[in-house]
Amino acid sequence: MNKLPQPMNLIKVVATSYDYLDSDLKKDGFGSRQHMEVTH
């Protein structure tokens, strides 16, 4: 990192919710869209 010609900027992303899409979930009786809220 010290050999880079200029400083590297980093961005930290903290998700507060997730949506998972999977059509195969319907085969098991679940909805194809699953939602999860994250508490910190």
Residue 1 falls inside a structural domain: no
CA 17 to chain centre: 8
Provide the domain limits for residue 28: 15-40
Report the pLDDT value the prediction gives residue 20, as an integer from 0 to 100: 96
Q: What pLDDT shows up at residue 1?
A: 66
7 occurs within a structural domain: no
Counting the structural domains of the chain, the total is 1
Task: Give residue 7's pLDDT.
Answer: 87
**pTM of this prediction?**
0.54
CA 26 to each of CA 2, 3, 16, 30: distance values in angstroms, whole numbers, following the listed order: 50, 51, 25, 5
- Give dist(CA 38, CA 7) in Å, integer: 32
Which tens digits make up the pLDDT trace of 1-40?
Answer: 678 888 888 999 999 999 999 999 999 999 999 999 998 7
